[in-house]
Amino acid sequence: MLEMLLVRGNRSNLNIHRQVCLVLPSDQWRTGDKKKKKKKKKKKKKKKKKKKKKKKKKKKKKKKKKKKKKKKKKKKKKKKKKKEEREEEEEEEEEAEGGERRRGDTVEGFTLSTEAPKKCETTETSETSETSETSETSH
């Protein structure tokens, strides 16, 4: 029942090749051109799937980054809270010992102040001025 027919050639080729195709009872022709088009469509579909996969990967990466940032923020907050709690505990201990320590307070013979101890300049200047006066009068 199936008959063999000669169908028009490919226009893309310079040498016009005659292609043989089958005539189906439903009058649908299967030509080489249509087969090529179907293959191209399949390739396009595959590309689209790849793009979707890439988009999904990008979304996953973004989500991971956001999660990492949130974790870092939480860790920082926890560290700050712990630090504040430690400082409060230290202050409470110091108050229990006898008030807050400030610059200049002595702790077991050491001074906490960073400044060098000041000398009494008034007594030294008065002594030097007296010696200078006596030296002038003796001459």
Q: For residue 131, which amino acid is it?
A: T
Q: What is the pLDDT of residues 1-54, one digit of tens each?
A: 344 444 444 444 444 444 544 445 555 555 555 555 555 666 666 666 666 677
d(CA 114, CA 61): 51
Q: What is the pLDDT of residues 69-79, one digit of tens each?
A: 999 999 999 99
Q: Does some domain include residue 88?
A: yes
Q: Does some domain include residue 42?
A: no
Q: Does some domain include residue 74?
A: yes
Q: Are 64 and 40 in contact (CB under 8 A)?
A: no
Q: Does some domain include residue 16?
A: no
pLDDT at 57 over 90: no
pTM for the full predicted model: 0.29
Six-digit token pair at 67? 């999660």
The pair phi, psi for residue 106, each rounded to 5°, is -95, 135
d(CA 10, CA 16): 6
Q: Does some domain include residue 121?
A: no
Q: Does some domain include residue 76?
A: yes
What total number of domains does the chain contain? 1
Q: Does some domain include residue 87?
A: yes
Distances (CA, A) of 131 to 59, 120, 122, 123, 125: 88, 18, 15, 13, 10
Q: Does some domain include residue 8?
A: no
Q: For residue 90, which amino acid is it?
A: E
